[in-house]
Structure 1
């Protein structure tokens, strides 16, 4: 086995998340009706899988339409692995959320990486964002989801794609969750994608004003922690009012949280969690999944807690046409008590 220097190993790790050909792969026919997931199925294990995506439905009857979170895995992960590592199904059962797990295939990317850095996949009208949005509409209709309470979250490459979806489709997604990811339009090719992951400063842009919650470890060697700050700046700019609080969790991890407040309403519109000593892994997850850190805070619980306070204006709904038959897709611990 070759002995590589730490700098070479870090470069190869970063390259793993990006260096894969971009191709299209089929998703289920949007006009078809696959069997619905059984309530509570896959609670602590695997979600119910239908073709290129998976759906978790919480147990118990509900008189109201449920909220839904779309969860986008990182490179090198599949649906089962991501659901297991994040324990999002446990949090969704607790908070009453439907969970949609779109899956990137090896045909679209050798490492199942969403093509967030490719201009062909940075548009409303085509590419992976358009197709994930159409899948969101299909599953929301199938499961009677509340159209004012649909959210999107992801890890690493999935977090970068979640940012794109939130900015490109603000009429669909009421808020965005990003764990160890990158801001929208942080890159326009493989080279700039790698540079962004290393910490290249993103040019300023008009803030999207999309409610956003971010988690990032300050020892992340795959995606530089500056990217977490840049996600917040892309959403709110550099002078949005915020408050800072710190806490040490029961597992000894120190956390710094910034809460961003809307000037007029004083409501919390964003949160940025710095996980001190943490690497490139989902906080509060299960060690049985990849890129997951059992040490808290529980990012899944905290994201759903944040999402529950955000919703689209009344009447907001997706107006995207469902994909045709030939359409293709490119592809619980207690939360830390911070006042």
Structure 2
């Protein structure tokens, strides 16, 4: 059985939840070092939430369960997930595995991102694993605790889900992708870099630098401050070994994010640059993308990094966007109409990359 959180840990997890509504601490030393313009001071606003379910679509919206071999003391573990298969699907299709954030469900993420509608148009499948309440009462993926029975177990379970999807005759083995929002983005980064042979590319929205936390308290600090440790050095702490198969990544972050400081978007970008052997510094390349403050809501700044005229790592910063999915359904919490359609940007990037079967 997964061990219960201590009262102190549970209180710290509640802090992580509340952090989505608290101002983020300004990290002046990092801002100066990375020349990051301070985020806008206004809060992201949402309209009243609607029922968090995907719009009725003609495809097949399934509820499935993946049985897991129990660890010592673990009782009948399983990972439940939703799977969207577009109508008229013929032959094998790509699949995007989407990881929700804290206080979210697969249905809410599907509705807010409109990813199923995009899958229907573009012809790919979408899988939405759900963090069980027995592991986290706030449904947070435990990216901040990589112990074998906690976040490390969750990363392993997600890797096993990818293996399960790869056995399906209607899935293209070399086109299995990962994407996530907030805690889901941090966990997606961990899974992609720990199991790079299973994932063709990854999309990270409002994620947190990995390897900087080993407890809920440290996770909260990383959310608000990033890390003063060189991002590339944190890969080892996250259990990541550079030099494996390349891992293409697109990183998106709102510059008015008061829950996960925008510095995290750049730190994650640096980690993927280091992993892919492109250097660990954004350097002059980000300056060439115009590092002036983003003045208007929805204004975008991009930086692209790669080799042989092919993007391997891409950073997208969105002015005026808070802790929310860019260009999503603003009636669903943690999604905003501000900014470009993140689902489309992520899919455009992912589909360019394939993993050798």
User: TM-score, normalized by length of structure 1?
Assistant: 0.74
Corresponding residue number in structure 2 for 1:256? 301
Corresponding residue number in structure 1 for 2:51? none
Q: 1:74 to 1:221 in 2, by over 3 A?
A: same
For residue 58 of structure 1, report the CA deviation from its aligned partner. 1.3
Alignment of 1:277-288 (within 5 A): 277-288=320-331
For the residues of structure 2 that align with 1:186 and 1:122, how far apart are their CA atoms?
19
Instruction: State whether structure 2 residue 63 is matched by structure 1 residue 49.
Output: yes
**Secondary structure of the structure 1 residue equivalent to 2:180:** strand
For residue 244 of structure 1, report the CA deviation from its aligned partner. 2.2
How many residues are aligned here? Answer: 275
Aligned equivalent of 2:334, options 291, 303, 316 = 291
For residue 252 of structure 1, report the CA deviation from its aligned partner. 6.0
For residue 95 of structure 1, report the CA deviation from its aligned partner. 1.9
Alignment of 1:165-244 (within 5 A): 165-201=191-227, 202-205=229-232, 208=242, 209-236=246-273, 237-238=280-281, 244=289
Q: Which stretch shows the higher mean deviation, 197-206 or 277-286?
A: 197-206
Q: 1:121 to 1:97 in 2, by over 3 A?
A: farther
For the residues of structure 2 that align with 1:232 and 1:279, how far apart are their CA atoms?
19
Q: 1:166 to 1:86 in 2, by over 3 A?
A: same
For the residues of structure 2 that align with 1:300 and 1:228, how far apart are their CA atoms?
17
Q: 1:192 to 1:136 in 2, by over 3 A?
A: same
Instruction: State whether structure 2 residue 16 is matched by structure 1 residue 15.
Output: yes
For the residues of structure 1 that align with 2:258 and 2:99, how far apart are their CA atoms?
21
5+ unaligned residues in a row in structure 1: which ranges?
1-10, 19-39, 316-339
Aligned equivalent of 1:149, options 159, 164, 175 = 175
For residue 284 of structure 1, report the CA deviation from its aligned partner. 1.0
Please give the per-residue CA displacement for 1:193-231, whole angstroms capped at 9, x wherever unaligned: 111001232433268552110111111010000000011
For residue 120 of structure 1, report the CA deviation from its aligned partner. 1.3
Q: 1:137 to 1:219 in 2, by over 3 A?
A: same
For the residues of structure 2 that align with 1:305 and 1:214, how far apart are their CA atoms?
13
Q: 1:129 to 1:12 in 2, by over 3 A?
A: closer
**Secondary structure of the structure 2 residue equivalent to 1:269:** strand
Aligned equivalent of 1:271, options 302, 314, 336 = 314
User: TM-score, normalized by length of structure 2?
Assistant: 0.70
For the residues of structure 2 that align with 1:105 and 1:122, how far apart are their CA atoms?
14
For the residues of structure 2 that align with 1:101 and 1:210, how far apart are their CA atoms?
21
Corresponding residue number in structure 1 for 2:95? 68
- Which runs of structure 1 show a deviation greater than 6 angstroms over 4 or more consecutive aligned residues? none
For residue 139 of structure 1, report the CA deviation from its aligned partner. 2.5
For residue 84 of structure 1, report the CA deviation from its aligned partner. 0.4
- Larger helix share, 1 or 2: 2
Aligned equivalent of 2:140, options 105, 110, 113 = 113
Q: 1:48 to 1:306 in 2, by over 3 A?
A: same
Q: 1:123 to 1:169 in 2, by over 3 A?
A: farther
5+ unaligned residues in a row in structure 2: which ranges?
1-11, 20-53, 66-79, 236-241, 274-279
Please give the per-residue CA displacement for 1:145-182, whole angstroms capped at 9, x wherever unaligned: 11111110100000000000110000001111110011
**Secondary structure of the structure 1 residue equivalent to 2:167:** helix
Q: 1:46 to 1:226 in 2, by over 3 A?
A: farther
What is the root-mean-square deviation of aligned Cα atoms in Å? 2.9
Corresponding residue number in structure 2 for 1:4? none
